[in-house]
Amino acid sequence: MAKVGKLSFHTLSIKHLDEVLEIEKVSFRTPWTKYAFIHEIQFEKSVFKVLKLNGRIIGYGGFWHILDEAHISNIAIHPEYRGQGFGKMLLLHLLEEALQKGASKATLEVRRSNVIAQKMYSRFGFKIISVRKNYYTDEQEDALIMWNDDIRATLAAAGTEKEDTPSESIH
């Protein structure tokens, strides 16, 4: 279960980059650069959020909103906070944001070896539909392409869909 404290979501900004880059480096074999995150901040179709616990960034994630689709580009939780439900909260928050922006479905790529992430995505309606051979060039690893064809149904099943703006703070 998640550690008790003040949990909040914020739009990614330049002031968050040092903390985000620290998490990125310990989370991925080929981490994004500072400039990749700056692009996300500036790209009009990008929605990127940081997750804070008691004022400390413990995770982040984002998607590109294109037509009626949300393409989830990155999700990471600091290793000290993994396995406590924060990744699920962040994914659901991103799906809520996507739905509010008009997306009805979502897609993502995940490493074939990242079974933990695949299981989480599957629990939230994502299904493997295809494989991108050697997508991750660092180790020539395949990416599994996963789709969720009904964000609204996923949020309703999770009990999070709301008519109004989602809560920005959970205690």
Catalytic residue among 109, 135, 141, 161: 109
DSSP 55: T
Structure tokens at 132: 């991108």
Q: Three-state SS for 47?
A: strand
Task: Indicate the helix (H) or strand (E) that contains 41.
Answer: helix 34-42
CA dihedral sign, ordered 126, 121, 9, 5: positive
Catalytic residue among 60, 81, 97, 121: 121
Q: Is 19 a catalytic residue?
A: no
Q: Is 121 a catalytic residue?
A: yes
Of 30, 48, 52, which Cα lies nearest the Cα of 39? Answer: 48
Phi, psi for 57 (deg, rounded to 5): -70, 125
Residue 11 · residue 49 · CB < 8 Å: yes
Catalytic residue annotation: 109, 121
